[in-house]
Amino acid sequence: MTLANLTSIPSPGTTFTTYFVVWTSSNGKTYATETDVGFGLVAFNWGEFDTSRNQLSTFNSTTGTFNQGVNGTITVNVPVSGVGNPTIPITDVNGTPAVSNPYGLTIAGEGLDGFGLVFTQPMDRAPDSGFGQRWAVCPPPNAAPTAVLTATPTSGTAPLTVNFNGSGSFDSDGDTIASYTFDFGDGPAPVTQSTPTISHTYQFAGNYAATLTVTDSRGLASTNTAVVTIMVSPAGVSEITDTTATCSTFSSGTAPSLSTVQYSVSNGKIKQTNPGGFFYWVKVPAQKGSNTFVINQSITTGNFNTFFSIASGSITFNSTCTNVKGTFTQSSTTNATRNTVTATFTAPSAGNYVISVKFNAQSVDGKTVPNPSTVGYSFSIPGVGGSTQVLNLVKK
């Protein structure tokens, strides 16, 4: 107990002063400490408290300190076992603490301490009305929540609607997730809401880093990186054409598509293909700097094991159809279940680029005629929506 201008001199007209500190313990009972000061003597007691008479109903002598001064202090030692054995401290802010509804009283008395009379109305009360804070409530340190973000789909052609889900986010110390802040990465302001799911439509092609930040019920925000990369490809993203097509005609949508390569037969072997070559065109979103894309070539009919090899003339273009000089390497084209072409180029700036892979249709010449006679080929880039194109090798 701290008192301003604490002194052992009783108030005028009295011979001693009693200081009470009153509280409700965790067992629901009301207790108080009593410090009696007068005639140069100081006595300390504690016990259950009668709030109707402002007096102890049970008395237990104890020890304490009485320190006079401008900011004087009184301490009284009370055994925990005597006041309900409360848990000190508690960590649950909604639990029952050792001390609830505390307040202080100053009461005057006349005569010898222990034999005189005391007033039942206090000279002063602190606080003047109501009660002080509960004691001792010590919530555990607040750990930051962890944001977890998923998205479906993560790639496709523009406009692309993506469903985001942050319901996997959690807080290790049991706090609830109070808010979810989604930043879609394509320019609009982040969206903060109390629910974990939201949809967003990407209108333009590009790679976008969508992020999620969550805040717990005590106001602490997540610090981890919860990010999903959304790859949005432009419409009309891929096409197979003959070798007369150009970047400009492909980009403008005026290049005729090619769906079949025909072949003639001689002595059970493929003799000649027509046309002798073709282009696989695909638009890709690239970051500034080095980029690598893998074009998968697969045989979908399972009746042939020779792939089309790449020919001289494979090129990478920027969005204005300027050659950015990419390099192209191919895995084995025979006796395999899948073939890959790896295109690598350096992008001067982030944006959409066009990859043009030139394939040599004559690479199947001299091979045993397939049975059945039609072979289905598929070309695609994993993660680039709309990149899949099919081509059939057909007997004349």
**Residues 263 and 183 placed together within one structural domain of the fold:** no
Q: Is residue 138 part of a domain?
A: no
Predicted local confidence at residue 138, as pLDDT:
78
Same domain, 387 and 265: yes
State which of 173, 205, 233 marks the end of a domain.
233
224-253 pLDDT, tens digit each: 989 999 988 766 789 999 999 999 999 888
In this structure, the answer to whether residues 223 and 246 fall within a common structural domain is no
Is residue 375 pLDDT above 60, yes or no? yes
Examine the domain organization and report whether 390 and 248 are in the same domain: yes
- Burial (CB count within 10 angstroms: exposed 0-12, middle 13-18, buried 19+), residue 367: middle
What is the total residue count of the chain? 396
Q: For residue 357, list its beta bridge partners.
A: 280
Whether residue 117 is found in the same domain as residue 162: no
**Residue 133 maps to a domain:** no
Q: Are residues 43 and 118 in the same domain?
A: yes
Residue 144 within any structural domain of the chain = no
pLDDT value at position 205? 76
Q: Tokens in use for 215?
A: 């805040």
pTM for the predicted model, two decimal places: 0.46
Pair 201, 297 in one domain: no
3-class secondary structure, 299 = strand
Assess if residue 81 is contained within a domain.
yes
Q: Is 80 exceeded by the pLDDT of residue 337?
A: no
* Number of domains into which the chain is organized: 3
Tokens 């993506």 locate to: 162
Distance separating alpha carbons of residues 33 and 43, to the nearest angstrom? 11
Query: 36-93 pLDDT, tens per residue?
Result: 998 778 999 999 999 999 999 999 999 999 999 999 999 999 999 999 999 988 888 7
303 lies in a domain? yes
The answer to whether residue 140 is domain-embedded is no
Examine residue 325 and state whether it is found in any structural domain, yes or no: yes
Are 379 and 246 contained in the same domain?
Answer: yes
Name the strand (E) or helix (H) holding 41.
Answer: strand 41-50
pLDDT at res. 113: 57
CA distance 192 to 196: 10
Long-range contacts of 271-277 (CB under 8 A, 24+ apart): 271/365, 272/362, 272/365, 273/361, 273/362, 273/364, 273/365, 273/393, 274/361, 275/242, 275/243, 275/361, 276/360, 276/361, 276/362, 277/242, 277/243, 277/311, 277/358, 277/359, 277/360, 277/361, 277/362
Residue 35 placed within a domain = yes
Query: Would you tell me how many other CB atoms lie within 10 Å of the CB of residue 205?
Result: 23
| In a shared domain, residues 165 and 275 | no
Decide: 227 and 149 in contact? Cβ < 8 Å. yes
Task: From 233, 248, 269, give the residue that closes a domain.
Answer: 233
CATH number of the domain enclosing 383: 2.60.40
Please check whether residues 119 and 23 belong to one and the same domain.
yes
Whether 95 and 229 share a structural domain = no
pLDDT tens-digit map of 26-44: 999 999 999 999 877 899 9
Task: Tell me which residue range forms the domain holding 301.
Answer: 238-395
Give first-to-last CA distance, the chain, whole Å. Answer: 105
Query: Is 180 in the same domain as 304?
Result: no
Identify the CATH number of the domain in which residue 156 sits. 2.60.40.10
Question: How much is the pLDDT for 215?
Answer: 97
Question: What are the helix (H) ranges across the chain?
Answer: 247-252
DSSP 186-210: SSSPPEEESSSEEEEEE-S-EEEEE
Q: What is the pLDDT of residues 155-210, one digit of tens each?
A: 877 778 999 999 999 999 889 999 999 999 999 999 999 999 999 999 887 889 99
> Does residue 336 surpass a pLDDT of 80?
no
Q: Which of 207, 233, 259 is the last residue of a domain?
A: 233
